[in-house]
Amino acid sequence: MLRTALATALSALALTACTASRPIPTPVDPPFDGARAKADVTWLADPARTGRGVGTPGIDAAADWLEVQMKGIGLAPAGSEGYRQVFEAPVGARLLDGNALSLDGKAEQLSVDWQPFTFSDDGKVEGELVFAGYGITAPELSYDDYAGLDVKGKIVLLAQDFPGEQDPKSPFRDPKNYRYGEWRYKVTNARDHGAAAVLAVRDDWNHPGKDEIPAWKGSPSSRAGLVAARVTLEALKRAGVDVAALATPIATDMKPRSKPLGVKGAVQVAVMHERARTANVAGKIAGSDPTVADECVIVGAHYDHLGFGGENSASPDQIGQAHLGADDNASGTAAILAVARAFASQAPPRRTVVFVAFSGEELGVLGSSYFVKNPPAGCTVPKMQLMVNLDMVGRPQQGKLYVHGVDTARGLRETVKEQAERNPAIALRVEPGGEGFGSSDNTSFYARDVPVLFLFNGAHTDYHRVSDTPDKIDAAGLAEASRLAWRAARDAADWPTRLEVVKVVQAKPQGGGGGRGSRPSLGTIPDFSERSDPGVLLTGVVPGSPAEKVGLVGGDVLLRLGTKKILNLQDLQYALTGHRPGDVLELEYSRGGKVSVVQVTLAERK
């Protein structure tokens, strides 16, 4: 799952009353069969489903199965092609002909001596090699490998990880500084300093081992804005460059040893980013009241997972094995089927209820982003009543069920509390949270002013690992999460009036830079769909946020924050993590083709 809302819109009199005095009859809970829900999880998370990765046979089989289940429940089709809503998603990258590297005129062997990164740009670069240490610029740690170094138009040679990695006192071992050891950060930083290409080497002096190029993973990734590749230490030694001798002294005094190397290099990269057709699977129960039937309630969960691993796997040594994704998110998928069965067992509600299994969530909530841009007929986004999202609801941690989004509609917090305590009370400790955004599919809806609820059991040690298996699913806990989701969706579908969305206001920035451990926020809501043009397209901004205060709106495109160019979402992430709440930066953006620059003060992310 990478991470909310029902509002009690009563009459003026009812607004002042306790939620116990309900304006609608309390529906009787239908039975929720935890064993059946767990059986659904077991089918979805079977190794035969190949981890349900987009582009793998298993996700197509899962979509077929979901369509059969929805038909069996009695749901009407709600997709553009029957139950399917088909779209394309990035699924990987493959090497084309024409990849080449030479050092001082000697050609190196692809996939033996060197290999491009999947996020490399295509193109050919020739130039001088410059050693830039670990490729880190961290002014708050008084460390900068680029200080006094001219790398414009040159090929930068960078070492893996960070200086002093074996020293427990190294400031880079602080978790908030781990980003400095990530290749994507290093390459982005090199690009921002004007480098034309990056060659990356393993830190053998910290981790002795075979000097081998990692197998090509072909994971989907956005382009980094320059040519970038890995190269072996041995290949560099043949060109007279001993990287270990260059890098090892840095750890002794934490002072960079960057310098030109007097070696000519030429690197050419040709990588194709592949796409595949995938589909959301959607069915509906039509509303019984024609005056409000089009005020849809959405019950959703993503059914895709990591397939055979890839860059998002937390089991990097097991890439190539099916990551089954029992909790993430076969559990949520099983839950929406349980909720659909509950609706189908009773008289239809007043409003239409649409049940959606989203694809592409693990690639950046692509399926839900596509859904809100292409909603089913008779279910326009401005009229949507509520979206209930279920993600990782099969393994309650300490008996808890988190329900985020309770502040995204007026009166929702009190309503969810009543729903949890209604007889029979939900047999989990319901922990409410107000925020409507997060790294799951609810974000796509709340960004479009739809109230949301996000049900989630909390993270566990099997998250994004091969070990997230069906035998660990708590059937009783899964049934209780489904029950609460049904109560929320059923109440919203029968409520006498529209729910009133509330945009959660972002907290003000803290004084003094917000402290060492605080995280900065701009308050922008990005469009997660793919873009061929540079920049980050916004769908909106958070009320009270720095972005709103400087006048940003949906449709604007972020181009630069401070000194960092913004080509994609990863660039925006790195631009933010290099700063603290309270920092004042230039922000460059375009609106309708006109480029503007404003001064923005970052806030603290809560």
Give yes or no for a contact between 6 and 491, defined as CB atoms under 8 angstroms apart: yes
What are the residue ranges spanned by the domains of the chain? 39-90+274-494, 97-269, 511-604
Residue 115 has pLDDT above 50, yes or no: yes
What are residue 594's DSSP bridge partners?
A: 591
Torsion angle in degrees (nearest 10) through CA of 9, 13, 17, 22: -60
Q: Identify the DSSP state of 560.
A: E
Give yes or no for a contact between 546 and 601, defined as CB atoms under 8 angstroms apart: yes
Tokens of 444: 């796509």
User: How much is the pLDDT for 44?
Assistant: 98
Averaged pLDDT, 126-145 = 95
Beta-carbon contacts of residue 369 (< 8 Å; ≥ 6 apart): 444, 527, 528, 529
Beta-carbon contacts of residue 155 (< 8 Å; ≥ 6 apart): 125, 127, 128, 129, 130, 195, 196, 197, 198, 199, 265, 267
d(CA 468, CA 470): 7
User: How much is the pLDDT for 526?
Assistant: 82
**Residue range 97-269 in CATH 3.40.50.2300:** no
d(CA 173, CA 463): 23
Beta-carbon contacts of residue 207 (< 8 Å; ≥ 6 apart): none
Locus of tokens 């055979």: 308
Strand pairing class (557-561; 564-565): antiparallel
**How distant, in Å, are the alpha carbons of 299, 312, 331, 461 from that of 315?**
31, 9, 20, 11
d(CA 171, CA 138): 10
Other CB atoms within 10 Å distance of the CB of residue 433: 16
Provide the total of helices (H) and of strands (E) in the chain, helices listed first. 14, 27
Other CB atoms within 10 Å distance of the CB of residue 398: 9
Averaged pLDDT, 527-534 = 76
Other CB atoms within 10 Å distance of the CB of residue 426: 17
pLDDT band at 437 (very low <50, low <70, confident <90, very high): confident
Which of these, 540, 537, 549, 550, lies nearest to 592 by C-alpha position? 537
Q: What is the CATH number of domain 511-604?
A: 2.30.42.10
What are residue 601's DSSP bridge partners?
A: 584
Residue 286 has pLDDT above 90, yes or no: yes
Where does residue 265 fall: left (phi above 0), alpha (psi -120 to 50 degrees), or beta otherwise? beta
Residue 275's SS3 state is strand
pLDDT digits (tens, 9 = 90+) for 551-599: 999 899 999 999 889 998 888 888 887 778 888 999 999 999 999 999 9
- Architecture label for domain 39-90+274-494: 3-Layer(aba) Sandwich (3.40)
Element (H, E) at 268: strand 259-269
pLDDT band at 175 (very low <50, low <70, confident <90, very high): low
Comparing 98-102, 214-218, 401-405, the range with the smallest average pLDDT is 214-218
d(CA 60, CA 362): 16
Q: Report the length, in residues, of the chain.
A: 606
Give yes or no for a contact between 278 and 59, defined as CB atoms under 8 angstroms apart: yes
Tokens of 205: 């002096």
d(CA 194, CA 197): 9
Tokens of 564: 């960092």
Give yes or no for a contact between 338 and 323, defined as CB atoms under 8 angstroms apart: no
Give yes or no for a contact between 357 and 303, defined as CB atoms under 8 angstroms apart: yes
pLDDT band at 505 (very low <50, low <70, confident <90, very high): low
pLDDT digits (tens, 9 = 90+) for 359-410: 999 988 999 999 999 999 999 999 999 999 999 999 998 899 999 999 999 9
> What average pLDDT does the chain have?
89
d(CA 7, CA 416): 9
Intrachain domains 39-90+274-494 and 97-269 with the same fold: no
Give yes or no for a contact between 130 and 258, defined as CB atoms under 8 angstroms apart: yes
Look at the alpha carbons of 73, 79, 82, 86 in this order and tell me if their dihedral is positive or negative.
negative
Locus of tokens 């908030």: 176
